[in-house]
Structure 1
C-alpha cells in the first residue's frame, strides 16, 4: 500500500535485460526493507549467474552492433533526454530514494537529485569532445591516436548514494560509447530500476544498459565474466581487493575502484571556530555518516581543542533524528540492520579500548535502524575506531600540536581518499595540502565534489578516478595509428 500511496507509477521489480523486464531464471526474489520502519517495501527479482550471462550477451551484441553506429551527437541527445526525464520525475525518484535508503527527503531532493542531473548533462556535453592527437615522428610517417570505447562494462554500485553512484557510472560509460551491465546494491535496488525505465523511454537501443539486481554472488559472476572488458566498482576495500585478485580470471579485465576511507579533517588554532565546527559536523554526520570520504578522524590543534569540543558536542546533540520524510529531519536511519549493528559494535570497541564518549553511542528509538550522532575523545592513533572505516555517524577527535606532526599522523593510514583543512593561514593550508597523500583535499570546506572534479583515492582507497575528464577516460582505450607515407603527402 505504501508504494501505491507514494508513487503514481508501479515499481519495477524485475531484471532489465535487452530493454525487456524479465524474471530471474531461478524464480527467486529478495526483500528490500524500509530502514526507518523495518517494513518490507517489495520483493525484487534475484539475478543469477545465468541472468548475468544473458545481460552480458545483450550488451555484447549491442556494442558490436547498433550502438557502435550511434554518433557522438546522437549519444549526447540520448543522455540529455535521460537527464530531462530524471528531472521531470525528480520528486518521485527523491521519495523512492528516501523510502529505500532512509536518507532525509530534503537531502534526496536538494542534494542527490540535482547532482544526478548535473552529472548526466555534463557527460552529455562530453561525447563530441573525445578525440586523439597527431604525433610527429622521425621519418615518413603520419601518426595519430584514436580514443575508442573499452567495450562491455560491468558496473557494481553501493547503497549509500544509489542514484548518484548510478549516474557516476552510467553517464561517462555511455558518453564514451560503452555498453553496460549494472548491478545495484541489494539494499537499494528501486531507484536503479526506475532509471532503467527512463533509459528505455529516452530511446537507448536494446542491450546498451542492462540492470541485474542481486546479492554478492550476482556481482561476483559479473566481475569474472569472460565477455566483460572492464569492471567499475564502488564499495568496500575488501570487495575491491577481491575484484582485483579475480580480474585475470578468463582474461584480463580493466578495473577501476572507488573504495573506503578514513579521512583526516584538520582544524588549526587560527581557524574560524564556527566554520570549523559546522564543517566537521557535516563532514562526518551527513548521510548518516555513510560516506566513503567522511571526515571521521578529526584532528584539532591543542590551542582550541577544549572550546571546539564543547561546541561540537552541542551541535551533535541538537541534530534532529526521525522520520526521513519529515522535511525538518536532518538524520535518518542507517541503511539496514547489519550496518546499524556494525556501527554499534565499533562504538563498543571504542569504549573498551579507552576512548571517551561525550555524546551519543546508542541506538535511537524503538523502530528503525537509527544510531545517535556519536563523538569520541581521548582517541589515540592506534585505536580501532581511528584506523578502521566505520561508515556511520561516529567521530573520533584527536589532539595535535604541530603541522608536521599532524601531516605524519594523517598519512598514517591504509586509506587516502579525502581530507579537509580549516585555517585562516593559506601558507599553512598549502603545506598541509602538499603533504597529505590523499585524492582530494578541501580547504575551509569539506567533501565538495562536482561533476567536473576528479574523485578517487590513494593507497587502499581505490584505483583510478571518477568524474571530470578522468571519469570518461576510465572507459576509453587509446589506439595509435602509424601510416607510412611519402614525404610530399605528409601534413
Structure 2
C-alpha cells in the first residue's frame, strides 16, 4: 500500500507518513455511525465538542509546533491558529442556536433543523486545522457525520485534529479521516454515500466541484475559493500606518491567505511617498523558519512547486511590461523561501485575473477614485476589499460599490473574525458563507404543524 508523506517546507525533511486511505470504507463507517450520532441529544454533542476545545487548548504547544513544521508558518502564527480552533466551538454553539435553533411559530407550528447526513470536508494547506475545523465543528454539532480529507500537503495536522475529536468523545465513525491526494479527493466528492461537500481551496477545484454537483441538487455544496483582493490607499494621513496595513494584508502567512491583498491601488503621483514607506518597512520583515529567533514575520510558501509557480507568474508579468519595485527572490535554491515582492502592473494591458497565492503584491496607479473602484472590481473574484484613508463618506461610497463579501476601512484585507460570516461573490464562493454562517449549510429547516390529538373537520363543499 502506498504511503502519503508530509515534508517540512523549511527543511525539506520528512515529518510524517501514513498509508493512503480507503474512500469506500471511510464513507461506509460514517454512514453507519450517522443515525446514532444524530440521535445523540444536542446537550451531549455540545459537551463533547467543549471537551474537544479543552483538549486543543491543553495541547496548544504540541499542536502549534506540528502546524508550524508542516506549513512552514512562524510558531507564533501557528499558535494563533490553534486558538481559533479552540474558540470555534463556543462561536458555533451560539451560531447553531441563533441561526438553526428551534422556533415556535404559533398555531401549533414549529421550526426545527435536521442534519444532512454524511458530509465530506476537503481542507486546504494554509490553515490545515482552523479552516477544516470551521466546517467540522458546526457539522458535528448539528448531528452530521463527517469524512475529512486534509490537503495532501498537510495531512499530519488533519490527523491530530481528528484524534482530538475522538479523544473528546466524538464517535470514531462520526469523524473519519481520509488520507490521500487528488485522486482520493475526487473519489470522495463523487461518492454516492455522501450527502454534501464542504470545500475550501482553489477556484479551479471549486469550479470543477460546482460542475460535478450540478447533477445532484439534493446534495449540499459549500465552496470558499479565495480572491484577487484589492486594497485602495486614498488620502491617508498616516503613511506609516498605511504601510503597516499593506504589509500585513499582502505578506502575512507568506501571502498564503485567501483574503490577502493581491492588488494595491493608489492615486498616480501620490504613491511615491507611500511606496518609500512600504519599502522601508518591508526591508525589516524577517523571512525565516518557524522556530527561528527572533521570530520571523513570514515563513516559506508550502513547497517548491508553489515557489516555482509564483516565480513563473512574477516573471510573466515582467515580460508583459511590469516594473519591478521589489523582486521575488528565492533565498535558498532547494527550499521554498521567497522574499516579499512588489511590482507595478499599471501598464500591463493583458494582466491575468489570478490569485497569486504568495507574497506578491501588484501596484496599480489610477487617476481618480472612480477609477480606483473600477480597478478594485475588475476581477471575477469578490472575497475581500479594503480602503485605507479617506473619511466616512468616502468609505460609504466604497462600501456601496465594492463587489466583495468583506469590505473594510482602515483595516487589513485579512484577519476576518470567526464570529462573522465569511464568504464572497463571483469566483470566491457559491453564496454559502462560512464561519458564523456555517450553521446554515450543515442543517436544513423542517417546519411541522402539530396537534396533541387527531382532529379533522370539513365544513363546506359537502352534500347533505
- Interval of TM-score (by shorter of Structure 1 and Structure 2): over 0.9
- Partners of 2:147 and 2:209 in 1: CA distance: 16
Offset of 1:486 from its aligned partner?
Answer: 6.1
Residue 15 of structure 1: aligned partner: none
Q: 2:253 aligns with which of 287, 295, 309?
A: 287
Tell me how far 1:211 sits from its aligned partner.
0.7
Per-residue CA shift, 1:420-462, capped at 9, x if unaligned?
1112401101110111110101111112312211001101111
Could you say which residue in structure 2 is the equivalent of 1:16? Answer: none
Query: Greater shift after overlay, 356-365 or 450-459?
Result: 356-365
Q: How does 1:52-451 map to 2 (within 5 A)?
A: 52-64=23-35, 66-109=36-79, 111-126=80-95, 130-135=100-105, 142-248=108-214, 252-302=218-268, 304-327=270-293, 328-380=295-347, 382-384=349-351, 387-446=353-412, 447-451=414-418
Decide whether the 8 Å contact of 1:261 with 1:418 is kept in 2. Answer: yes
Q: Are the counterparts in 2 of residues 381 and 409 from structure 1 also a CA contact under 8 Å?
A: no
Whole-angstrom CA distance in 2 between matches of 1:364 and 1:407: 36
CA distance, structure 2, for counterparts of residue 334 and residue 270 of structure 1: 31
Whether 2:7 is the aligned partner of 1:36: answer no
Q: Note if contact 2:38-2:115 (Cα within 8 Å) is conserved in structure 1.
A: no
Residue 82 of structure 1 and its aligned partner are, at CA, apart by 0.3
Q: Which residues in structure 2 correspond to 1:2-21 (within 5 Å)?
A: none
Cα displacement string for residues 70-110 of structure 1 (whole angstroms, at most 9, x for unaligned residues) = 1111111111100010010011011101111100111112x
Shift, 1:127, TM fit:
5.0
Q: Is the 8 A contact 2:345 2:364 kept in 1?
A: yes
CA apart distance, 1:290: 0.8
Q: CA deviation at 1:116?
A: 1.6
Q: Which moved more, 1:477-486 or 1:356-365?
A: 477-486
The Cα RMSD (Å) is 2.0
Partner-residue secondary structure (3-state), 2:404: coil
Q: Is the 8 A contact 1:224 1:249 kept in 2?
A: no
- Are the structure 2 counterparts of residues 128 and 435 from structure 1 closer, same or farther at C-alpha, using a change threshold of 3 Å? closer
Assess if the C-alpha contact under 8 Å between 2:322 and 2:348 holds in 1: no
3-state secondary structure, aligned to 2:314: helix
Matches of 2:58 and 2:86 in 1, distance apart?
Answer: 10
C-alpha distance in structure 2 between counterparts of 1:220 and 1:465, whole Å: 23
1:471 aligns to 2:438 (yes or no): yes
Question: Cα distance, 1:128 vs. partner?
Answer: 5.2
Contact 2:227 2:355 in 1 (8 A): yes
Give 5+ residue unaligned stretches, structure 2: 458-464
* SS of residue paired to 2:365: strand
Moved over 3 A (4+): 124-130, 132-136, 248-252, 380-385, 482-488
Distance 1:321 1:476 in 2: 43
Describe the shift of the 1:472–1:271 C-alpha distance in structure 2 as closer, same or farther (beyond 3 A).
Answer: farther
116-125 or 479-488, which deviates more = 479-488
Secondary structure (helix, strand or coil) at the match of 2:166 reads: helix
- Report SS of the residue matched to 1:43: strand
TM-score, normalised on structure 1?
0.88
Query: CA–CA distance in 2 between the matches of 1:465 and 1:148?
Result: 19
Separation of aligned partners in 2, 1:346 and 1:244: 26
Residue deviations 1:264-288 (CA, integer Å, cap 9, x gap): 1011123421221111111010101
Aligned residues: 451
Q: In the alignment, is the contact (CA less than 8 A) between 2:320 and 2:348 conserved in 1?
A: no
> 1:389 is paired with a residue of what secondary structure?
coil
- Partner-residue secondary structure (3-state), 2:434: coil
Deviations along 1:296-322, one digit per CA (max 9) or x if unpaired, are 111012353110111112222221112
CA shift in 2, pair 1:380/1:149, >3 Å: farther
Q: Distance in 2 between matches of 1:52 and 1:249?
A: 21
Structure 1 spans left out of the alignment, 5+ residues: 1-26
TM-score (norm 2): 0.93
Contact 1:126 1:175 in 2 (8 A): no
SS of aligned partner of 1:365: coil
